[in-house]
Structure 1
């Protein structure tokens, strides 16, 4: 919708004076010396260092993002409204941090959709740049998926001048001014999704500034399981940041205005890491809990940092019971001692504090961190209670995709490569071009995709979840079970996944969810079709 409420598709003259390649070259030129083939451990990478006074860990209380109420409802649909705008919030005590936020907060408000009802979210853009909204993990039609060139220009227009600055046509883009409705059909299984900015070339700085929030899908069957609920069902967004001397977020953008040149400076082309771990926007928080089971919906909303989480009580590990993955519940729960979570991934877990004593402290450590990033949050056991929550042995009926039914096998190599004459991040040797699909899978058919990497890459598919078949020719990791839409592959890794795209013909993308890699060309279009695959 436009400012006056009418839909105004534009003739998009969108993004990149030379369709990314020359701009990407500027962004990665200083990083070439750092890109040697190696195990890309986050602890070994260059990270930003904060210059503001940082709080002591576990001195600030955890907060939970507010749940957004619908503006109205009818027989089939819930209608929500979000305004993307600049604001100032308190992240570090004693400082005011400028952000870009959904409704001016970070994380944005949580939207809760019922599987049986359609959801429509109207976004209004009051920021100084175009935006794109992607429902990460959402099974939605092309026009509401958040394709990277489907720009929503700011209220008041100015799109001609901004398009001229950014250059390069994408004739298929769905662009609008001021306001836009994103429609999410009913029927998606209960799962923890999230929404975030997805504008071509500038996703990294936009998310870093605050454009991210939870979108939870619930259904009656899940609610009848007896899992922890209410205040014991907690969404947790992990996101590292760094701060300047005034308490503002620090980000090494080549172009801080986010209007012309994408990319980051120097060695940050491998991914931007901060030295402060935020949980729901709070640095190293503490949270008071009862001696009961808690459901934790874990989301890695970081640009590039990978976490290996361990729940420590008195020097011993507290079990983590995984009940769900990116796309919803597992068939059966499974017990883990630690959990690796890469950017874009979600894990639904239950942690049982019933054997703890009042006064105990359970610290969540990041075993892939270094220095200030080794600690994440702490749970303080405050009260002994009776707990009626359960984790059933059977969680949901689960369909397994049979690789023998696959009609084709496709290979996608995520590598360093040429991006306009300079080293960048590419898929199958090609820098991202929104106009040229890399594959055309047929709706309803099972395919096997082989994914391989040089360095660490969390790989994300739009439209449908997939199932992990193998890792490096062997069985998947335990935590790979269930329906996934993002898969973390370490350096020189290879995985096979089974995927079946359904319902919606159109163009979608696969990409690395290290946001700096994504912005520097590691993305590709695939087109889903009802005819013969090519």
Structure 2
């Protein structure tokens, strides 16, 4: 890959700044990747030697009163990511990924988070049908011990000068970014916060991660992410692969310094005052090490049988196109049975599958015809060099398999039609210049927590048309949606089912349809390229 390709849109933005080209002209180059790649300064291990770790399942501290209660401490630990190297990580309960929460549909849970990190945090259950108070709004901080109280409802994570007289754009363009904006609705707690979830949603795999305004990207990069499953009786009765043959896979890229620390181009490595990244990485930070469940290019022993793979792309900016390839070059079918928001109506078979940051896929891969001792590699068709490999499965033994893939998986899919829509809206996700600096905008405006961008009525069906300049994985809080079209044509095969994140490709438009039900209150929609999100690409959604 050339340096120009490697820098992708990061280099394009630098060119815009240096030459004064318009953003549109610069972006017309259609870079191959949105982001720039960090190079590790430490020798990297060979692929397919490290065993795949499985995240521990968190046990509730109480199950009384019909509510499962959990406790999670956010703390820094040193752990082995690269073999023989200790890396400082920010963690939930001392592990990366954080511990998995297993919930049952209709049974409420409460998770008490305790912040023992050096900076404020916010926890968002991504894909959850959450009340506004437990959705992890970016200004609803949990302050650590000794952190100053925000003044007068300011959403700042620290005491800062008032940016009076400036609009959202000028506040974004300043050295402290959006951190000085005021949010009169922010709910700030110290040390702990209870997040309560009704679990009133379809069975699916969700994930939880930090969502602090301006600093989401580096916090996730340092390790603040974990899995959260919702189960129900209907799914249990399908006969899908289960137990040891259901494998969660959190894929994330990272880079490492010479001493084994995580490498990240933060303007303020303390993550206290100045948000943002150095200019080459404005479009997104890519790593040169592919981790799965926190291990580099791991291998997992399996039976010659069907396996259910629950896949999350937890990378900040890297997109993947996954395929399963045997040692003799044969590609195995990837049978998709679920998307972000649960099971599909019927299975969809792929030979390869694109997955953007924050997207999840529920897949069945059948290893029955792979000989014992054989290997199946999961490869990334969008990668090059070491980033082309993701992980491998090694077939250890023949075994009985009574699992199945039913022709009908779910009968509870919503039947929304374009004619049901109360209104159609259009949102452009684009780079912008803000008083001489770069940002990422929705509808030409950067995020302002005090501004309501969209107001919808509870229960209304709407169609949203989303337009992108470069890669933008767009995520809606609270609701799932269906993809109506891409570029005026039919959705792609991987758009099936109910989603909460859609990957927009450079220059692409897509239409989605959803019903805004569940709860009234303030929510968000935003790009889930975490660097874009931190640099303004979020908007407020008020459901009334």
Report the TM-score, using the length of structure 2 for normalisation. Answer: 0.90
Alpha-carbon contact 2:129-2:199 (below 8 Å) kept? no
1:386-397 → structure 2 map (5 Å cutoff)? 386-397=400-411
| Pairing partner for 2:41 from 42, 46, 51 | 51
Partner of 2:515: 500
Question: Residue 325 and residue 518 in structure 1: after superposition, are their counterparts in 2 closer, same or farther (change >3 A)?
Answer: same
| Pairing partner for 1:205 from 188, 204, 218 | 218
Partner of 1:364: 378
Is 1:308 the equivalent of 2:321?
Answer: yes
- Aligned mates of 2:435, 2:320 — CA distance in 1: 33
Deviation at 1:33, TM superposition (A): 5.2
Alpha-carbon contact 2:123-2:136 (below 8 Å) kept? yes
Deviation at 1:158, TM superposition (A): 3.3
Partner of 2:526: 511
SS of match in other structure, 1:200: coil
Question: Residue 312 and residue 78 in structure 1: after superposition, are their counterparts in 2 closer, same or farther (change >3 A)?
Answer: same
Is 1:73 the equivalent of 2:63?
Answer: yes
| Pairing partner for 1:190 from 188, 191, 203 | 203
Deviation at 1:377, TM superposition (A): 0.3
| Pairing partner for 2:32 from 33, 41, 55 | 41
- Aligned mates of 1:441, 1:244 — CA distance in 2: 47
Partner of 2:358: 344
Partner of 2:241: 228
Alpha-carbon contact 2:430-2:440 (below 8 Å) kept? yes
- Aligned mates of 1:121, 1:40 — CA distance in 2: 42
Partner of 2:6: none
Alpha-carbon contact 2:50-2:298 (below 8 Å) kept? yes
Partner of 1:294: 307
Deviation at 1:419, TM superposition (A): 3.1
Deviation at 1:261, TM superposition (A): 1.0
- Aligned mates of 2:290, 2:423 — CA distance in 1: 42
Question: Residue 460 and residue 52 in structure 1: after superposition, are their counterparts in 2 closer, same or farther (change >3 A)?
Answer: same
Question: Residue 316 and residue 31 in structure 1: after superposition, are their counterparts in 2 closer, same or farther (change >3 A)?
Answer: farther
Partner of 2:543: 528
SS of match in other structure, 2:282: helix
Question: Residue 224 and residue 272 in structure 1: after superposition, are their counterparts in 2 closer, same or farther (change >3 A)?
Answer: same
1:150-169 → structure 2 map (5 Å cutoff)? 150-160=140-150, 163-165=158-160, 166-169=179-182
Deviation track 1:460-498 (CA, whole Å, cap 9, x = no partner) reads: 000101000000000000110111000001100000000
SS of match in other structure, 1:206: helix
Deviation at 1:359, TM superposition (A): 1.2
1:121-520 → structure 2 map (5 Å cutoff)? 121-160=111-150, 163-165=158-160, 166-313=179-326, 314-397=328-411, 398-520=413-535
C-alpha RMSD of the superposition:
1.5
- Aligned mates of 1:499, 1:33 — CA distance in 2: 42
SS of match in other structure, 2:99: strand
Deviation track 1:78-129 (CA, whole Å, cap 9, x = no partner) reads: 0001000111000011211001000121100000110020011000000111
Question: Residue 434 and residue 85 in structure 1: after superposition, are their counterparts in 2 closer, same or farther (change >3 A)?
Answer: same
Question: Residue 31 and residue 271 in structure 1: after superposition, are their counterparts in 2 closer, same or farther (change >3 A)?
Answer: farther
Deviation track 1:408-438 (CA, whole Å, cap 9, x = no partner) reads: 0000000111334423110000011011121
Alpha-carbon contact 1:419-1:425 (below 8 Å) kept? no
1:73-92 → structure 2 map (5 Å cutoff)? 73-92=63-82
- Aligned mates of 1:500, 1:254 — CA distance in 2: 40
Deviation track 1:432-455 (CA, whole Å, cap 9, x = no partner) reads: 101112110111110000000011
Unaligned stretches of 5+ residues in structure 2:
1-12, 152-156, 161-178
SS of match in other structure, 1:72: coil
SS of match in other structure, 1:93: coil
Alpha-carbon contact 1:131-1:152 (below 8 Å) kept? yes
Question: Residue 295 and residue 272 in structure 1: after superposition, are their counterparts in 2 closer, same or farther (change >3 A)?
Answer: same
How many residues align structurally? 501
- Aligned mates of 1:328, 1:405 — CA distance in 2: 23
Deviation track 1:302-338 (CA, whole Å, cap 9, x = no partner) reads: 0000000010012121000000000000001111100
- Aligned mates of 1:318, 1:33 — CA distance in 2: 47
Alpha-carbon contact 1:135-1:194 (below 8 Å) kept? yes
Deviation at 1:260, TM superposition (A): 1.1
SS of match in other structure, 1:159: coil
Alpha-carbon contact 1:31-1:267 (below 8 Å) kept? no
- Aligned mates of 1:286, 1:355 — CA distance in 2: 19
Alpha-carbon contact 1:190-1:218 (below 8 Å) kept? yes
- Aligned mates of 2:517, 2:270 — CA distance in 1: 38
Alpha-carbon contact 1:30-1:266 (below 8 Å) kept? no
SS of match in other structure, 1:380: strand
Deviation track 1:171-213 (CA, whole Å, cap 9, x = no partner) reads: 1011111100001113211000000000110000000000000
Question: Residue 464 and residue 420 in structure 1: after superposition, are their counterparts in 2 closer, same or farther (change >3 A)?
Answer: farther
- Aligned mates of 1:350, 1:108 — CA distance in 2: 24
SS of match in other structure, 2:408: coil
Alpha-carbon contact 1:41-1:368 (below 8 Å) kept? no
- Aligned mates of 2:139, 2:108 — CA distance in 1: 25
Deviation at 1:168, TM superposition (A): 3.4
Report the TM-score, using the length of structure 1 for normalisation. Answer: 0.92
Alpha-carbon contact 1:285-1:378 (below 8 Å) kept? yes
Alpha-carbon contact 2:181-2:449 (below 8 Å) kept? no
Deviation at 1:46, TM superposition (A): 2.8
- Aligned mates of 2:146, 2:102 — CA distance in 1: 30
Deviation at 1:155, TM superposition (A): 3.2
- Aligned mates of 2:396, 2:350 — CA distance in 1: 25
